Structure 1
Amino acid sequence: MIRPGGATHTVLLRPFTDDEPPVTIPRDPAREAAERELSDPRYHQNDPNLLERALDRLWEWIGDLFSAASGAAPGGALGLVVIVIVVLLLVAALWWRLGAPRRSPTTSPHLFDDRPRSAAEHRASAEAHAAAQRWNQAVQEQMRAIVRSLEERALLDERPGRTADEAAADAGRTLPDHAPQLVDAARSFDDVTYGGRTADESAYARLADLDRDLERTRPALGAAAQGAAE
């Protein structure tokens, strides 16, 4: 070797001889030694944890799925995006048109499910709920006040276990001019009682107005007699 300034330095390496072959390690012990070395925690300090590995696998699967779908869709990835947007718009349109899915009834379908109360008591209860802005309960009590009032006036027969729909249908035959409003009132009662819907002030106001209107209504004698007979 030539050093700066022209000086030289020679390094002598002792060569292997036939009497001293290179040191070798058998395959199995070498593998075991390498595994022991790699199992040292120092080599795994920055490895991803179980959650990170699972998320990596998930994203890989989503990427593969998207790639396969874009390859099958007309127009490739852009076509797939358009299809997804169209599907989302259809779902939104159906949701807006049909409303939230209704839950299965969880209570008795009977209109009255507690001790008998007068129409005045039901009205007072409805007004108290309305004052507290508990519109669901206000709608329920107002519908009960309407039906009880018709029973007290003998425009409806007192029938245990009657539903709101049955009461509206029976009262509509006695008071045909108010049949559509009675059906709407029964539907509002069913929506908040069994359908999982939420009432508002306007829903309560419609039933309260109907109740006052029915109080002022005097049915024809023929219609009243026919309703009592049925």
Structure 2
Amino acid sequence: MGFLKRILRSNTAEESGSTFTPGSFEALTEEELQTHMGIDCYGAFELTGAIRPSYDLQVVPRQGFRFDEYVDDSSQTRTPVIMAATTRHRIMDLFLDLIDRLGPVVDVVLETSHHFSGHHQDLYREHIDVPVLKSILLDHEDLLLNDGCTGIAVINPSRRQEVQLDEHKLLIMYGRPLEQFERTLIASDVYPDEGIRFITEAEHVHSSSEAFFDRFNKLKHRLGMDSEDLSGCC
């Protein structure tokens, strides 16, 4: 999971729970930082609490999607990808709609980078009914939208297809065919934009907290992942 992510982290602000990338954030005063973190709208595009762009706005967040390609380093296998960004109030409904395109039974991967310095750990759950999964996800909507250290992927291994809601709250779909995902995006007013740049493609800041880590553990429990060892993260 997370094959397209470019995560830049250097240090952690313990009081806020935020993890900062180097560059434009280094010279900010506390007041400037708090002001920047408080900006959640860029035009009509509303961010979640999980992520903020660079202070100098190397990338201005906007809604849209583009086609991409993932190339496996070892096998050189090429997998078609759609990457999408959408405003906050559409993310969860759209994610659930995209999951529906994977079939009635799926596998789930939870990604955590809580207390990891620039690294993450993936927790796997096989064979869960989609209606059950969607109910659990809705119960943890606040965590999934606003925690910059939590990501999730839903997979149909037999179809070799996957839908991700990653730590940056981007929606990433991969595996043939992509047309059903494309139609779902357009039906939600998320349109193709080959020139779009995503927040991952420049300096950015993730935000999390111990409270979100506690909620992550509750989601992990609901998904039956308690046997997975996270002892190395604390």
TM-score range, shorter chain: under 0.3
- Higher helix residue share: 1
Report the structure number with the largest CA radius of gyration: 1
Structure ranking higher on relative contact order (CA contacts 8 Å, 6+ apart):
2
Q: TM-score, with normalisation over the residues of structure 2?
A: 0.25
- Higher strand residue share: 2
